[in-house]
Amino acid sequence: MPDVSEQQAQRLIAFATERLGRQEGNGQCWTLVDNGFENLGFHKPAATYNWGRTIDQLSGARPGDVFQFRNFRVTTRTENDDGWQEETQSRGDPRHTAILQSIDADGVATFLEANVNGSFSVQRNTFRVRTADTEDGNGGRTTVRISGTFTIYRPQSEEE
């Protein structure tokens, strides 16, 4: 089966964006993606939590791809002259499904997702999916550590 085109992938993003702030179906993370695939005529593989062709490298991810997280944690530690602060975000305990809206070269990604942050509503959230060490030039340092895994899926078209 062929990959969906970038234009078709944008339709999946639009489907999710139109639902921001509202619960889609039963509010589970996978329901947003499943309903989007059904509405747009994308192929849904029979395997659970499999959303298409696997993309092996993060650098190959594009908007409209589906991320399947497993026990994923992002820990961000910020240090400066006043001390330090640490924050942890998690996705998937054990699994979580989200639609990639955008990603930059530093691995900062924006996702459209549901059943996160104590809410079943569709949300837009941004977090890193790659480790990083940065300095701000004034003695401040930010360290981002990632644990767990994710698989990137490229949706497939039903059309041959």
Three-state SS sequence of 53-92: EEECCHHHCCCCCEEEEEEEEEEEEEEECCEEEEEEEEEE
Residue 1 forms part of a structural domain:
no
Residue 67 forms part of a structural domain:
yes
Contact 142, 78 (CB under 8 A): yes
Q: Does the pLDDT of residue 159 top 80, yes or no?
A: no
Residue 56 forms part of a structural domain:
no
Quote the pTM value: 0.94
Instruction: Give me Rg for the CA atoms of the chain.
Output: 17
**Residue 118, Cβ density class (10 Å: 0-12 exposed, 13-18 middle, ≥19 buried):** exposed
Lowest mean pLDDT of 27-31, 44-48, 130-134, name the range. Answer: 44-48
Per-residue pLDDT reduced to its tens digit, 47-73: 888 999 999 999 999 999 999 999 999
Domain count of the chain? 1
Residue 150 forms part of a structural domain:
yes
* Residue 85: domain span: 6-49+61-157
Residue 33 forms part of a structural domain:
yes
CA–CA distance, 128 with 144 (Å, rounded to integer): 8
Residue 98 forms part of a structural domain:
yes
Length, in residues, of the chain: 160
Q: Does the pLDDT of residue 160 top 70, yes or no?
A: no
Residue 54 forms part of a structural domain:
no
pLDDT score for 45? 84
Residue 45 forms part of a structural domain:
yes
Q: Does the pLDDT of residue 20 top 80, yes or no?
A: yes
Residue type, 44: K
List Cα–Cα distances, 38 to 41, 47, 89, 103, 114, in angstroms. Answer: 5, 16, 30, 25, 17
- β-bridge partners, 133: 143
